[in-house]
A and B are shown apart, each in its own frame.
Chain A
C-alpha cells in the first residue's frame, strides 16, 4: 500500500465522520472533504491510503511553510490560489500539466477563471477545486418586517453607500435588529469586504506590474470609511468574532451576515431546523455600491509540493487522489462554493442545489488579488491595520499609511527578483 499525506485546513472532524463513506451524509467543508478522503481510502483499487492532517486555519500556512522549510513537505496540500505564486516562483510545487494528461484530468473542462488562476509560465501548477467568494446571507423575515422588500416581496439590497446606510437605519428603527453581522475581530472578513468595495470603485490595492502598494488611494480611503461608518453607527458589532457574528445572524439578531460561499449549506440546514430563529434564509450576490461589479474571491487549489526525495509511487498515488477529487467536484460545491468544472456547473444536479440560483452573478464578478508574491503577509498586515481602526480607533489615515509602508517593504523583495 502507498501511504500519502494530505495537508489541509477546513477543520477537524475525523471523530464525527470516523468511518463514513456516504457522501450524502456529509455536511460542510470539513465533513465533505473528510468523507471524500474516507471514501477514496475505502474504494481505491491501488491500495492507496490518504492520511489526512488537518491544521487549524489560523496557523495553516505557518505549518505548511515550516514543513516545506523543514524539508518534510506533505505529498498533497491544499492552498489558496492567491498563495500559489509564492510557492510556484520558488519551484516548490510540481508542475501538473503533463501528469493531468496522464491520469485523465481534463484541463479544458476548467472554467477559464479557474484555469488561469493555476497557470503560470504556460504550465498548470495545481488542481483548482472551487471558486469561493463573499456573499450576503440574508434573513428574509427581518427584511420583510423592516419593509425593505421589492415588489416581489424579496429582500431589497442597497445600490449605493448612502442607500446602505438608509436601509440600515430603517432596519434598526423598524425591527430593533442590526443590519449587518460581520466577523470583525481576528478575522479577514471586513478586509475582504473592503477589497470588494475598492474594486467596485475601479481601484486596487497593489499595482501588479510595478509591484507597488496603493493603499493610500482615494478608493481605499472610501472603502475603509464606509466600514467604519457602519461600525460607528452600530449597524455592525465591531467586537464580533467569527462565531459571534454567525451566532448573531442565526439567532435573528442581524439581518445580513457577510460571509463566504462556504456558509450557504450550513445556514440552509440551520434554517430547516424548526427550533431555529432563522427561518427564511436567502442568499444574495454582493451588492454593487459603487458602480463596477466586483466581489472578493479566491480558490481552493490542491498542489503537490516538490519532494526532496522524489518517490514515483507516491506521486502516482497523489495524482490518483487529485483525479478523484476532480471527479467529485460537485460534492465539494455542495458546501456553497462554486465548482470549477464547466461540466459540473452546467449539470442538473448542480442546479438542483438549494439557493444556488440566488447568487449566479458571483461567478462572473468574482475578483482576486493580482498574482503577486507575499500576498498573505500583505493580507495579514492589512487585516491588522484595518481592524485596529474600529477596534482601537486608530486614525484611518495612519492605519493606511502604516500599511502602505509595511506593504512596500514586503513588496521590495518581490521587486528584487
Chain B
C-alpha cells in the first residue's frame, strides 16, 4: 500500500552480508556517505532546534547580547498574552477554513479533470500552474486583483454598478480574501495528489461497476471516494500543516490587519523577534507552533496506521 511522505519508514530490510573485515568496511563507508548530510543536519537543524528550546527559557534579544535566564517566565507570559491567543485563534481559523476548502476544491477538480483528452491535460496544467509562483508574486497579483480602486474585482463590480469593497482593509473580508488568494495559490497541489490517487484505481474496477449497473453517483460514492480515503487523509494533513505555517500572505497583503484580524503565529514570531527584539519570547511561540504541528503529524501517523493495509 502507499506510504505517505511524512511517515517514517524502516530501512531494516536492506539485506545482510558483512563478515569480519567487510563489516568494518561497510560501517566506515556508511558513515562516510552520510557524513556530509549529517553535518548540515546537525548544525542547521538539530542544533538550532535545541537552541530554540534553550532560548525560550531566556530573555534573549536578537540585537546586542542581552541574555538572561528566566526559567518558564516566557511560557507564563504566553499564557496571559492576548496577542498570542489572538494569533493562535487566527492561525487555527485560517487553517481550519483553508485546508478543507483546498481539499474539496482539489478533489472536485481532480474528479472533473481525470480524463484522457488533451484538453483535460491542458486544464490540469492551468489549475496546477498557480502553484509554481512565489508567495510574493501571488500576493502582488491578488493585492492588485482585490484593490478597491483599480482592482480586477473592483472593475467588475463597478461595471455592474456595485460599490467596490476594500477587501483587504475590511474586517469581515480580509480573512476570506486571504483564504481565496491561498486557495488559488495552492489548490493545484491537492488536485495533483488526488489525480495520482485516481490513476491508481484500476480501470477494470470501473468496468466491473458498469457491468454491475452502478450509477454515476454510486460509482463516485462507493468506489472512487473510498479509494481516495488515504489520499484525502494525506492531503488534509499536508494542507493543515502547511496552512498552520501561513506567513507570506498576511505579511504582504494585510500586515496582519485590519486590527490584528489576520495576524498568524508565524508573523507573531517574526515580529516579536525582529521588531520587538524579544527572541526568547518568539522562541517560546515557536515551541508552541512546533508542538501543534507535531500533534497533527502524529495524528496522521496514527490514522494512516489504522487505515493501513
Direct contact, A vs B (beta carbon within 8 Å): yes
Q: Which partner residue on chain B sits nearest A73 by CB separation?
A: B63
A92 interface neighbour in B64, B81, B171, Cβ under 8 Å = B64
Contacts of B229-283 to chain A: CB distance below 8 A: 255, 257-261, 270-271, 274-278
Interface size grouping (class) on chain A: 20 to 34
Chain B residues with CB under 8 A of A392: 171, 258-259, 261
- When A239-B169, A388-B259 are in contact, do A416 and B59 touch as well, CB less than 8 Å? yes
Say yes or no: A413 contacts B275, CB within 8 Å: no
Give min CB distance, A371 to chain B, whole Å.
17
The answer, yes or no, to whether B202 is at the interface (CB within 8 Å) is no
Separation in Å of the A414 CB from the closest CB of chain B?
Answer: 11
Residue of B64, B83, B260, B277 with most chain A CB atoms under a 10 A cut-off: B277
Residue contact A391 to B274, C-beta cutoff 8 Å: no
Kindly state whether residue A326 has any CB partner on chain B within 8 Å. no
B293 within 8 A of A: no
Contacts A62-B270, A65-B275, A380-B276 known; 7 new A-B pairs at CB < 8 A: A69-B63, A86-B277, A186-B169, A186-B257, A391-B171, A391-B258, A392-B258
Instruction: Tell whether, in the assembled complex, residue B259 and residue A376 are in contact, meaning their CB atoms are under 8 Å apart.
Output: no
A387 nearest CB across to chain B (Å): 5
Contact of A68 with B by CB under 8 A: yes
Query: Given A69-B62, A186-B257, A417-B66, does the pair A406, B276 have CB atoms closer than 8 Å?
Result: no
How far in angstroms is the closest Cβ of chain A from B309? 50
Question: For B83, what are the chain A residues with a Cβ–Cβ distance below 8 Å?
Answer: 381, 406
A247 to chain B, nearest CB (A): 9
Which residues on A are within 8 Å of B, measured CB to CB? 58, 61-62, 65-66, 68-69, 86, 90-92, 185-186, 239, 241, 374, 376-377, 380-381, 384, 387-388, 391-392, 394, 402, 405-406, 409-410, 413, 416-417
A-side contacts of B276, CB under 8 Å:
374, 376-377, 380, 410
Q: A62-B271, A65-B277, A387-B258 are in contact. Are A406 and B63 (CB under 8 A)?
A: no
CA distance A313 to B83 in the complex (A): 46
* B-chain residues with CB within 8 Å of residue A380 when the two chains form the complex: 275-276
Taking a contact as CB atoms closer than 8 A, the residue among B61, B68, B81 that contacts A409 in the complex is B81
For chain B residues 36-75, which have a beta carbon within 8 Å of chain A?
59, 61-64, 66, 68
Q: Which 7 A-B pairs have the closest CB atoms?
A: A90-B64, A388-B259, A391-B259, A377-B276, A69-B62, A69-B63, A392-B259
Q: Is B80's CB under 8 angstroms from A405's CB?
A: yes
Size of interface on B: residues with Cβ below 8 Å to A: 29
**Measured CA separation A394–B258 after assembly (Å):** 13
When chains A and B are docked, how far (Å) is the Cα of A61 from the Cα of B260? Answer: 19
Q: Which residue of A186, A376, A406, A417 contacts B255 across the interface (Cβ within 8 Å)?
A: A186
Give the distance in Å from the alpha carbon of A392 to the alpha carbon of B259 in the complex.
7
Q: Are B62 and A90 in contact (CB under 8 A)?
A: no
Instruction: Given A66-B274, A413-B59, verify A185-B66 contact (CB < 8 Å).
Output: no
Report the minimal beta-carbon distance from A58 to chain B, rounded to whole angstroms. Answer: 7
> In the bound complex, do residue B169 and residue A388 qualify as a contact, i.e. CB atoms below 8 Å apart?
no
Instruction: Report whether over half of chain B's contact residues are helix, strand or loop; otherwise say mixed.
Output: loop
The 13 sampled A-B contact pairs (Cβ below 8 Å) are A65-B63, A69-B62, A86-B277, A90-B61, A91-B64, A185-B258, A239-B169, A239-B170, A381-B83, A388-B259, A405-B80, A406-B83, A413-B66
Complex Cα distance A86/B63, Å?
10
In the assembled complex, B26 has its CB within 8 A of some CB on chain A = no
Contact of B166 among A68, A239, A402 (CB under 8 A): A239
The residue in chain A whose Cβ has the minimal distance to the Cβ of B263 is A384
Nearest neighbor of A384 in chain B, beta-carbon distance = B260
Question: Residue A241 contacts which of B64, B66, B169, B171 (CB distance < 8 angstroms)?
Answer: B169
Give chain A residues whose Cβ lies under 8 Å from the Cβ of B62: 65, 69
B169 touches A185 (CB 8 A): yes
Question: How distant is A316 from chain B, measured CB to nearest CB, in Å?
Answer: 26
Q: Which residues of the other chain, B, contact A92 by a CB distance below 8 angstroms?
A: 63-64
Flag whether B82 is at the interface (Cβ < 8 A).
yes
Minimal Cβ-Cβ distance residue in B for A64: B63
Are B63 and A90 in contact, with the CB atoms below 8 A? yes
Residues of B within 8 A of A239 (CB): 166, 169-170
* Measured CA separation A387–B171 after assembly (Å): 12
Least CB distance, A32 to chain B, in whole angstroms? 27
CB-defined contacts of A405 to chain B, threshold 8 Å: 80, 82
> Are A409 and B259 in contact, with the CB atoms below 8 A?
no
